[in-house]
Amino acid sequence: MSIKLLNPPHLVKFLVIGVLFSFFFSSWIYGNNIDFQNTITGTVTSSDDNLPVPGVNIFVKELPNVGAVTDMDGNYSIQAPADATLVFSFIGFKTIERKVDNRTEINVVMDSDLDALQEVVIVGYGEQKRETVVAAVVQASGEELERAGNVPNIGSALAGNVPGVITTSSTGIPGGEDPRIFIRGQSTWNDSSPLVLVDGIERPLNTIAISSVESISVLKDASATAVYGVRGANGVILVTTKRGKTGKAVIRARLNSTVKTASKLPGKKDAFDTFLVRNRAIENELSLTPESWSFFQTQDIIDKYRFPANLTEAERYPNVDWDKALFREYAPSYNANLNITGGSEIVKYFAGADFQYEGDLIKQYDNNRGYQPGFGFNRLNVRTNLDFKLTSSTVLKVGLSGSYGVRKTPWGFGGGDYGYWIAAYSTPPDIYLPQYSDGSWGYDAPSGGGEGNAIRNLAISGVQFVTNTQLQTNFTLEQDLDVILDGLKFTGTIALDNTFVEANRGVNDLYNDPQEKYIDPETGIVTYRRTYDANTGFDYQQGIKWSSSSGDVNNDATYRRLFYQTQLNYAKNFAGKHDVTAMGLFNRNEFATGSVLPFYREDWVFRTTYGYDNRYLIEYNGAYNGSERFAAGNRFAFFSSGGLGWNISNEAFMKEVDFINNLKLRASYGEIGDDNVNGRYLYLTQWSYGGQARLGTVGEQAEQSPYVWYTESAVGNPDISWEKVKKSNIGLDYGFFNNSISGSVDFFRDERVDVLISGNQRAIPEYYGTTAPVANLGTVQNQGYEIVLNLNHYFGENLRLWADLNMTHAQNKVIEGDNPELLPEYQKNNNKAIGQAYSYIDNGFYNTWDELYGTTPFNTDDSQKIPGGYQIVDFNADGIIDGFDNVPYAFAGAPQNTYNATVGFDWKGLSGFVQFFGANNVTRQVVFNSLGNQNNIVYDEGSYWSKDNTNADAPVPRWVTTTNGAANGSRFFYDGSYVRLKNAEIAYTFPAESKILTSFGFESLRLFLNGNNLYIWTKMPDDRESNFAGTGWASQGAYPTVKRFNFGLNITF
Amino acid sequence: MKIYSRNLNRFCLVIVATLVFSSCEEYLDKEPESIISEEEAFKNFTNFQGFTEELYHCIPDFSNAYWTNSWNWGDDEITSADMNFHVIHKFDNGNFWGWQTEHDGWGASWLNQADASRNDDRMQKDLWKNGWYGLRKVNLGLENLDLLVDATPAERDFIEGQLLFFRGWFHFQMIQYFGGMPYIDYVLPSDEPLRLARLSYHECADRAAADLREAADLLPVNWDDTQPGAATRGKNDLRINKIMALGYLGKNYLWAASPLMNLESTGSREYNSDYAKKAADVFGELLALCDSGEAPYSLVPFENYSVNFYTTGQGWRIPGGTEAIFRGPYFGANGSNWGTSKQYQPAIIQDGSNFMPTANYVSYYGMANGLPIEDITKPDPASGYDPQYPWKDRDPRFYHDIIYDGVQVVQGAMPADVEQHRYANLYTGGSYRDVSTGSRSGFLNYKFIPITANRYDDGFNYGANLNLHLPWMRLADVYLMYAEAAAIGYGSPEGKSSNYSKTAIEAVNVIRDRAGAGHVSIGEGAVAAGLDGFMSEVRRERAVELSFEGHRFNDLRRWLLLIERPYTLKTSLEFDRAGDFNTEDPTENRVLNLREEIILERDFSTKHYWLPLKNADTNMYVEFPQNPGW
């Protein structure tokens, strides 16, 4: 009896549903022959529009087996004792109770329930009514995700919308924008990413089209996640896709047209200012290296960089604004989707198609090679979800979906590439022009091309199309087993997923170098990189050697999954007060990428809940799981959790308290496992066969010896087992004043023991000789709280103001890592956060030679000090600055606090909102080192030290000389806090009677203007929340994160 | 309808029941046929030799371990100012942590790589990680030798000999940089704390010597002539043989005899003559085998001298000729042309990066008559050196190794506007001199590259097959080590071991003769009389013959000279050209105002004699302490 209607019900459909209800339930409604004294009739209408509501469920509270349903006109008739109470309920409306009091006609006006959406909550392997949930589960609807300014991936759209979900983004590269997601922070240094299930099957989050998402449920505490046993410790994200609804076909279309611009990039000085700073650096270090003087640039030359007299000078003294040279002003992106839902008695259907295009921020330069290099992403998703009613008690659900994503990148593009955007981060403005007027590209002759020309790199990079084709299928058979036991239901699921990845399609343009040029500003002499052709000895001619490549299977990324599951559900209400449910299931999962041996899993899960009178709730979950990563004796384990709930607002004594609509206390505790670690068969010492020594003596590649290596490839730990988290959670849900104030408060605490420490993190001397086995040696604690406050108020008839505010605090602490014994306490990771930043501490400048001689010496390079350096704190007071003065500094790389504030209004057809998202207590290392490695680039870093400005922002950079690594103190550690205008929207929905609608035949039309990541307030020099994209080094940058401005419309036919 | 659904119910129940009873632990087992058993690796010669040969990929290619490469860390070499990420730059500043990957952001140190591996990538080879890995592998092999049943005695000996060689060799390499270490001669367990204590240098050296001696006794002089080597006949040059084992056995003894190591173990700053005698005897054994022709090693003729270091136009043949004794494999011969073969020229003729010889070091190249130059700025009637003609009548190896002012560098055509750079303008202010893109010292090092290695002659293009790959030990080194050991062990330049016919001084003269330089003359010119004079010539001979081959830093260390002036100085030679410029014979060019200027002084103390160990290791337990001063 779980017909669920997750959208606010539309009147048109009431009729259909009402008919269905009467069809389904007529047998038991009218099947009871109890003799009643009174026949009560009446009409149920909606307070919204005073129209009748069909399909409302009515029963006698004292005799729960006696019920009725309203007909198409909202009329009902029921027989009940004169002193009985009638209960009127319908999904989407607030349940109403009325005393009969000898009346024969009772007319009821039902108020719609704004929280109707959340009436049913998707939980692990099932769903529960919001009222009965004792676990910490939050749910977001597809509509909420759609507000996020046409971001192409669910991860980005989740940010801020779901309390407890902490996202950090690092790049805006088309097709690769996915942020890192933690649920309630981290409690392990191993993979902390949550388990993601789409329609119950483990599937990647980044290929789902937002338009096909009905809801996203995030399971956070033990009670919710324990059913996932060995996989649930990092939290679980459940994505549920849209399904058909009985009724006439409804066609929805949504179009988004977006422009993207690069978000904040590091500030850099132009050539003129760079030389001024460089000259200062040279003057400053003359006492150490008189030879620095040879680099001093005279003012008349410096002037030419800013004020070149003619084209020749402009080419000889370049002053390139690389951000402008590299990036377009804006890049386009589009999304269009169309879906159709509907259904009959026999079959319900949802079918949708979604097309996403992500354009490239990087400018196109003409390479004269007939292809267009750069980045881009196209994705077409289709999904069909069908529900067949095979018999009155049997439903077959079929889900078929496909995703065809084509990512365009330079040829051979991989994670470690940075040469295509490095110009925005560290290419000197004066080094060369990206392209000279004669068409040759600039290059860095003095260092043999060391400082790569990003624009040239991209222009002749070739193109590669990586096509990701996913086919996902699931078949579910639901069988009511009321014939065996009332309330029993069987569900069997089988899912087959396949993903094919084709790479290397496109244009391979490797090793076809164009002519490159360098003009020595000192002499004006032009150096061409290629003086003559190596083979012919004639002048260098750029060959036409690039060729198209037909593509091949990327076997490593190709995957297949087989999942099958059988499940028994039991749900029954006894005597109106006792709600009992039980669920048991078994599943197996077989997953393989490429040619690896398949990964196997096996789960046994059990859950039972009992609710008394909707007041007292108790739940127990158990999972018995196996993981192939562990030895036979450690392979299976039983995880269990339990929860208690108390709906205080349903107590009799609360009936008097009018302003409280909802007050519920929840508590849960349990143990969940995590085997999400690198490496398989960690218990086995493994040997491998392969590889040959190159003992030959001729050939570019020396000939291999015939003897093939036997190698001990991994040392096993027979005692290895999974990590275990003891999770506890206490929460309070509240709703006051007609739910105009509602929300929840949760406190949580994770105690993770047996955390796996990989061999290279263990305190094992390096002379051990190989990677030590992984061992369960760590303990981590993670605790925090979440506060959710939703406000909602009508001012008069038409104006509604609302606000959703939430905050998450999650703070972890390593209790035990495997630390070297003799390490000082402050350098052990114990009692510090995972990923705690470490830095030398600076304490002002030494301003004179006297003060310099008074500083604590560095253990190396002490002679390289000059006045104006940082005083580095000798933390352990041993009279020398060395590795032991590198101490915990500020915070870790994942934020402790995230905040979200969304404020909006509805006024007639007009609506709008702004969403601010922020994080604090986070540290990010960004090493933008001015003039580092004699690279002629100076970043905006405020004022420099001089003897007249001893209160400066930064020490004078060095040119020829180098300093001890400690001399920078903590200057490259930034407070990673930020507040961003994450989303904003203004939308207009045309009124139903509008001419536009009728003339085009639309049922509804909504226009909107929204945006994503519109503005950021931060101390960080660039807009990246973390350095994980690209090479992981902030100084090598990443494809910039983007701002999106989007115009779109929703049409319903 | 009802019947249908009943059937369906039954069907479901059957499915459930089947699954319940079929579930079992085996579902999650690793498929047995996918498991490679340990026994398989050791059962016969083919497999066991396969097991063993991974060790050859633990030998770093120090001359090609990064794009550009730094392996000379003494007073011999200096880099241009922009090469400040290399180990040499850090060492020059006294920052000896620089060998560790933790202190080497660019991954340019051949001693330690974060991603060390035994694959075919030259940049993933290091000594520290692959060395310890190799030792574990050696011990695994030795402990499982009894599983080798299907093998002839010779096959068994060769495998054991190779394993023992590598055990000695890795330990020797470690202790020469770090001092005494634990001697790893069993497979270390993973389930108990590792608390091995650091031994003294001599304790380690003795155990390495025992392994190397046993290896020498088990291994053949030449695999080609043996039954186990027959399958790979003609391709055994890199496989460990008796000569290699003897070479390192002797070197291990000589190092143990050296003042630094003797100081660490006994407190004496002198040579240890017992170890020196042992060294001389082993080298004598080795040289006798070579001189008699029993072992296939001989000095290459001087006209082919460069084949020791590179080959070109020979199908990428590994350098070394008949002289190289111990070489590691090379991983892609063209790899050296991405950096190393371009790191010696000024940017004006080859965009690249600069490593150049210091002027003070070039001064070790004496006169053709065999006498040293005492002061490069002063005339020396005894040797015939004239500071107005500093390039005249020098040791022939000077002309092979060093580009000096006036040498024609570009051989073929070059554009007219750069024609003035055809000849090395290395005089003060010349176009080849530049702090960041040219020579800082007034010289270029062309020992390891052909003269055509510039952008105009393109001597490093793919078709030229230039393979630059330095040997770890060559026969010339053994002669000089023998000379040092014999002179010290037997107390005289005339000293000799009982098993070899040549005296110390004769051994040095073998090397001089090959180069065509005059013999060592003690008590003449700048050379003092007696053993001291001879030893200073031995040191100079090592400096010249083995220049830039990675020996100088360790030599200065073991002789306790590294932190002493003038060995802490790096100088440039400043001068002006005078008179007509002779393009035909640059040695005829006259120079004026010749002076030597200090460009760098290394501020070293006694702690700099040993490299610092990793803090991560020394923080584990007290018996594994850090080296003093670090």
Over residues A316-331, mean pLDDT: 94
């591996």: which residue's tokens?
B117
- Say whether both A220 and A133 belong to one domain: yes
Q: Which among A479, A636, A693 has CB closest to B53?
A: A693
pLDDT at A534: 65
For residue A643, what are the CA distances in angstroms to A622, A733, A857? Answer: 12, 15, 59
Per-residue pLDDT reduced to its tens digit, A108-143: 887 766 554 447 888 989 888 888 889 999 999 888
Please determine, for residue B604, whether its predicted confidence score (pLDDT) is greater than 70.
yes
Backbone angles phi, psi at A45, to 5 degrees: -125, 165
Q: Which among A525, A636, A820 has CB closest to B616?
A: A820
Please determine, for residue A4, whether its predicted confidence score (pLDDT) is greater than 50.
no
- A525: closest chain B residue by CA: B417
* Minimal CA separation from A680 to chain B, in Å: 9
From A844, A674, A681, A800, select the one nearest A188 (Cα to Cα): A674
Least confident of A407-421, A440-454, B132-146, B263-277: A440-454
The number of beta carbons lying within 10 Å of the beta carbon of residue A309 is: 10
Q: Quote the Cα angle for A1036-A1037-A1038, to 5°.
A: 130
Residue to mutate among B2, B3, B4, B9, with most A CBs inside 10 A, is B9
Please list every residue in chain B whose beta carbon sits closer than 8 Å to the beta carbon of residue A477: 12
Over residues A979-984, mean pLDDT: 94
| More reliable by pLDDT, A922 or A290 | A922
Average pLDDT, chain A: 88
pLDDT at B96: 95
Pick from A266, A297, A321: which residue ends a domain?
A: A321
SS3 at position A744: strand
Please list every residue in chain A whose beta carbon sits closer than 8 Å to the beta carbon of residue B429: none
The CATH code of the domain that includes A29 is 2.60.40.1120
| Whole-number Å distance between alpha carbons of A24 and A18 | 10
Residue A291 domain-assigned (yes or no): yes
Structure tokens at B35: 């498991």
ipTM above 0.85, yes or no: yes
Strand pairing category for A108-110 and A38-46: parallel
Our CA dihedral for A988, A991, A992, A998, rounded to 10 degrees, sits at: -80
Please list every residue in chain B whose beta carbon sits closer than 8 Å to the beta carbon of residue A681: 30
| Whole-number Å distance between alpha carbons of A207 and A404 | 9
Contact B621 A492 (CB under 8 A): no
pLDDT at A48: 62
Contacts of A96 (CB under 8 A, 6+ apart): A87, A88, A89, A108, A110
- Say whether both A65 and A123 belong to one domain: no
Residue to mutate among A766, A818, A826, A927, with most B CBs inside 10 A, is A766
Contact B50 A769 (CB under 8 A): no
Total domains present in chain A: 4
Residue to mutate among B13, B16, B28, with most A CBs inside 10 A, is B28
Residue A610 domain-assigned (yes or no): no
Contact B27 A710 (CB under 8 A): no
Q: Which among B40, B94, B461 has CB closest to A534?
A: B461
Residues forming beta bridges with residue A644, ordered by sequence position? A618, A667
- Say whether both A26 and A145 belong to one domain: no
The CATH code of the domain that includes A157 is 2.170.130.10
Please list every residue in chain A whose beta carbon sits closer than 8 Å to the beta carbon of residue B87: none
Please list every residue in chain A whose beta carbon sits closer than 8 Å to the beta carbon of residue B135: 767, 769
Q: Where are the alpha helices (DSSP H) in B469-503?
A: 475-489
Please determine, for residue B95, whether its predicted confidence score (pLDDT) is greater than 50.
yes
- A696: closest chain B residue by CA: B235
| Whole-number Å distance between alpha carbons of A349 and A113 | 26
Contact B128 A766 (CB under 8 A): yes
Residue to mutate among B40, B49, B53, B123, with most A CBs inside 10 A, is B53
- Say whether both A92 and A154 belong to one domain: no
Per-residue pLDDT reduced to its tens digit, A552-592: 988 888 889 999 999 999 999 888 889 999 999 999 999 99
- A585: closest chain B residue by CA: B16
Average pLDDT, chain B: 93
Per-residue pLDDT reduced to its tens digit, A501-537: 999 999 998 888 888 999 989 888 888 888 777 667 6
Least confident of A128-137, A370-379, A380-389, B358-367: A128-137
Please determine, for residue B13, whether its predicted confidence score (pLDDT) is greater than 60.
no
Residue to mutate among A286, A288, A451, A768, with most B CBs inside 10 A, is A768
pLDDT at B32: 66
Please determine, for residue A37, whether its predicted confidence score (pLDDT) is greater than 70.
no
* Minimal CA separation from B520 to chain A, in Å: 36
Residue A28 domain-assigned (yes or no): yes
Residues forming beta bridges with residue A255, ordered by sequence position? A336, A1049
pLDDT at A112: 66
Per-residue pLDDT reduced to its tens digit, A56-111: 888 887 877 777 888 878 888 888 888 888 888 776 677 788 888 888 888 888 77
Over residues A693-717, mean pLDDT: 94
Residue A56 domain-assigned (yes or no): yes
Please determine, for residue A9, whether its predicted confidence score (pLDDT) is greater than 50.
no
- A935: closest chain B residue by CA: B82
Residue A25 domain-assigned (yes or no): yes
Q: Which among B51, B231, B350 has CB closest to A709?
A: B51
- Say whether both A136 and A230 belong to one domain: yes
Contacts of A922 (CB under 8 A, 6+ apart): A891, A892, A893, A894, A895, A896, A975, A976, A977
Per-residue pLDDT reduced to its tens digit, A845-898: 999 999 999 999 998 888 889 999 999 999 999 999 998 999 999 999 999 999
Please determine, for residue A439, whether its predicted confidence score (pLDDT) is greater than 90.
no
- Say whether both A51 and A147 belong to one domain: no
pLDDT at A13: 41
Q: Where are the alpha helices (DSSP H) in A147-251?
A: 154-158, 222-225
Structure tokens at A411: 């040829």
SS3 at position A122: strand
pLDDT at A362: 93
Please determine, for residue A28, whether its predicted confidence score (pLDDT) is greater than 50.
no
Q: How confident is the model at residue A150 (pLDDT cuts 50, 70, 90)?
A: confident
Pick from A98, A115, A132: which residue ends a domain?
A: A115
Contact A772 B190 (CB under 8 A): yes
pLDDT at A17: 39
- Say whether both A174 and A240 belong to one domain: yes
Please determine, for residue B425, whether its predicted confidence score (pLDDT) is greater than 90.
yes
Please list every residue in chain A whose beta carbon sits closer than 8 Å to the beta carbon of residue B603: 863
Q: Which among A291, A701, A709 has CB closest to B435?
A: A291
Q: How confident is the model at residue A11 (pLDDT cuts 50, 70, 90)?
A: very low
Contact A626 B28 (CB under 8 A): yes
Strand pairing category for A67-69 and A57-60: antiparallel
Please list every residue in chain A whose beta carbon sits closer than 8 Å to the beta carbon of residue B22: none
Per-residue pLDDT reduced to its tens digit, B558-590: 999 999 999 999 999 999 999 889 999 999 999
Please list every residue in chain B whose beta carbon sits closer than 8 Å to the beta carbon of residue A680: 30
Residue A796 domain-assigned (yes or no): no
- Say whether both A132 and A243 belong to one domain: yes
Least confident of A3-12, A393-402, A660-669, A832-841: A3-12
* Minimal CA separation from B247 to chain A, in Å: 20
Please determine, for residue B43, whether its predicted confidence score (pLDDT) is greater than 70.
yes
Residue A553 domain-assigned (yes or no): no
Q: Which among B81, B90, B132 has CB closest to A766?
A: B132
Per-residue pLDDT reduced to its tens digit, A190-246: 888 999 999 999 999 888 999 999 999 999 999 889 899 888 899 999 999 999 888
Please list every residue in chain B whose beta carbon sits closer than 8 Å to the beta carbon of residue A717: 190-191
**Are the CB atoms for B575 and B443 separated by under 8 Å?**
no
Per-residue pLDDT reduced to its tens digit, A997-1032: 888 888 889 999 999 999 999 999 999 999 888 888
* Minimal CA separation from A696 to chain B, in Å: 6
* Minimal CA separation from A907 to chain B, in Å: 52
Q: What residues make up the domain containing A166?
A: 117-249
Residue to mutate among B235, B350, B611, B613, with most A CBs inside 10 A, is B235
Contact B81 A702 (CB under 8 A): no
- A567: closest chain B residue by CA: B16
Contact B194 A765 (CB under 8 A): yes
Q: How confident is the model at residue B230 (pLDDT cuts 50, 70, 90)?
A: very high
Please determine, for residue A698, whether its predicted confidence score (pLDDT) is greater than 70.
yes
pLDDT at A1002: 87
- Say whether both A60 and A138 belong to one domain: no
Give pTM, 2 decimals.
0.82
Over residues A292-313, mean pLDDT: 92
Over residues B412-436, mean pLDDT: 91
Per-residue pLDDT reduced to its tens digit, A725-764: 999 999 999 999 888 999 999 999 999 999 999 888 899 9
Pick from A88, A115, A142: which residue ends a domain?
A: A115
Q: In A595-630, which positions are buried (b, 16+ CB within 10 angstroms) versus exposed (e)?
A: eeeebbbbbbbbbbbebeeebebebbbbbbbbbbbb
**Are the CB atoms for B169 and B216 separated by under 8 Å?**
no
* Minimal CA separation from B289 to chain A, in Å: 24
Per-residue pLDDT reduced to its tens digit, A599-645: 888 889 999 999 998 899 999 999 998 888 888 888 888 899 999 99
Residue type, position B363, single letter: S
Please list every residue in chain B whose beta carbon sits closer than 8 Å to the beta carbon of residue A626: 25, 27-28
Q: How confident is the model at residue B25 (pLDDT cuts 50, 70, 90)?
A: low
Contact A962 B89 (CB under 8 A): yes
pLDDT at A1017: 96
- Say whether both A122 and A108 belong to one domain: no
- Say whether both A29 and A93 belong to one domain: yes
Over residues B20-27, mean pLDDT: 55
A-B interface: how many C-beta pairs under 8 angstroms?
A: 277
Residue to mutate among B14, B43, B54, B613, with most A CBs inside 10 A, is B54
pLDDT at B9: 52
Q: Which among A566, A632, A864 has CB closest to B19?
A: A566
Residue A1018 domain-assigned (yes or no): no
pLDDT at A2: 38
pLDDT at B233: 94
Q: How confident is the model at residue A21 (pLDDT cuts 50, 70, 90)?
A: very low
Please list every residue in chain A whose beta carbon sits closer than 8 Å to the beta carbon of residue B27: 588, 600, 602, 626
| Whole-number Å distance between alpha carbons of A612 and A620 | 15
Over residues A800-827, mean pLDDT: 93
Q: Where are the alpha helices (DSSP H) in B305-395?
A: 359-362
Residues forming beta bridges with residue A501, ordered by sequence position? A468
Q: Which among A687, A691, A697 has CB closest to B41?
A: A687
For residue A3, what are the CA distances in angstroms to A92, A127, A989? Answer: 12, 12, 29
- Say whether both A57 and A175 belong to one domain: no
